């Protein structure tokens, strides 16, 4: 049996799984319905020490090639890093929050300690991730969160962006485009159709909303990069705030990635606010 951590207040209830450091569930007590989709192994998980995929599963940094570790879930990529595949330690637990810690080290140069905090503040879930580099040689890092939101045919999504990367082979991004086609434009609330969509956006203003029949969900993060993933025939939609675009390791200037020296840290946070859309919720 999984040793899930049950955390709740008057508005929200969540179940945190130390295996993977993710949420198994986030439930609105006011509306009596889930906020996050729990049809997979996790309803929300942290992405570290990088987000998404890196072409060739390798990159150059400080004059040498860094070959990324093999992933147990993807034969090509160190997919979303290793935080979501690792066992986290429970450092503290109260009725409304928990703090998890993780220590990882890899031959490519990743050598870090991470702290992951989930906190309920009235109708808001706040997730915070802090990574500290421990090796004497610098290394390049990226962070993010991967939530799976409940999203059915009556739901609507809205967020603003200045451009996007279409999806290419092996789910890697094609060249950036400043003109977002109408089918991928969510600047006005819309469902967007029952179809596969796996693209990254730039120039995000840090706010996205999901309108459902019984609740409105607002996602906030201080980053200009947002990943959108959905599958045809499924009742979920992933909105993934991350500190860098997909494959930034191979882009000019390696945008959003942070080079950390010994003892230096990087921080990333996301908030999910849930409000009732009906008076009887």
Give 192-242 pLDDT, tens digit per residue: 999 999 999 999 999 999 999 999 999 999 999 999 999 999 999 999 999
pTM of the model: 0.96
Cα separation of 72 and 27, whole Å? 30
Strands 258-260 and 139-141: antiparallel
Listed in sequence order, the residues at least 6 apart from 206 whose beta carbon sits closer than 8 Å to its beta carbon are 220, 221, 222, 223, 224, 241
* Residue that the structure tokens 């930034």 belong to: 248
Domains and CATH numbers, the chain: 5-276 (2.70.98.10)
Cα separation of 134 and 159, whole Å? 37
Report the SS3 class of residue 201: strand
Distances (CA, A) of 176 to 94, 203, 217: 44, 12, 28
Cα separation of 83 and 96, whole Å? 23
pLDDT at 39: 84
pLDDT at 111: 98
Please identify every stretch of the chain with a pLDDT value under 70, giving residue numbers as ranges.
1-2, 278-281
pLDDT at 1: 41
- Are the CB atoms for 148 and 231 separated by under 8 Å? no
């Amino acid at each position: 049996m999984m040793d899930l951590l049950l955390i709740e207040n008057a508005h929200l209830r969540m179940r945190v799984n130390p295996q993977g450091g993710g949420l198994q569930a986030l439930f609105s007590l006011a509306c009596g319905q889930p906020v996050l989709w729990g049809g997979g192994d996790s309803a929300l998980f942290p992405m570290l020490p990088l987000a998404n995929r890196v072409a060739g599963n390798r990159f150059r940094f400080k004059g040498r090639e860094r070959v990324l570790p093999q992933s147990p879930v993807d034969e090509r990529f160190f997919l979303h890093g290793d935080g979501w595949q690792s066992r986290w330690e429970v450092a503290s637990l109260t009725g409304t929050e928990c703090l998890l810690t993780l220590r990882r080290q890899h031959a490519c140069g990743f050598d870090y300690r991470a702290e992951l905090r989930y906190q309920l503040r009235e109708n808001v879930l706040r997730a915070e991730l802090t990574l500290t580099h421990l090796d004497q040689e610098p290394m390049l890092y990226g962070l993010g969160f991967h939530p799976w939101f409940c999203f059915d045919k009556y739901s609507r999504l809205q967020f603003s962006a200045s451009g996007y990367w279409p999806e290419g082979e092996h789910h890697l991004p094609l060249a950036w485009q400043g003109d977002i086609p109408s089918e991928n434009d969510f600047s006005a609330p819309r469902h967007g159709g029952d179809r596969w969509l796996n693209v990254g956006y730039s120039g995000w203003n840090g706010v996205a909303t999901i309108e459902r029949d019984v609740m409105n969900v607002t996602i906030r993060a201080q980053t200009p990069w947002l990943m959108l993933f959905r599958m045809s025939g499924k009742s979920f939609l992933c909105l993934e705030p991350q500190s860098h675009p997909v494959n930034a390791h191979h882009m000019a200037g390696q945008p959003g990635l942070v080079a950390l020296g010994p003892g230096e840290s990087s921080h990333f946070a996301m908030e999910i606010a849930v409000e009732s859309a009906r008076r009887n919720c």
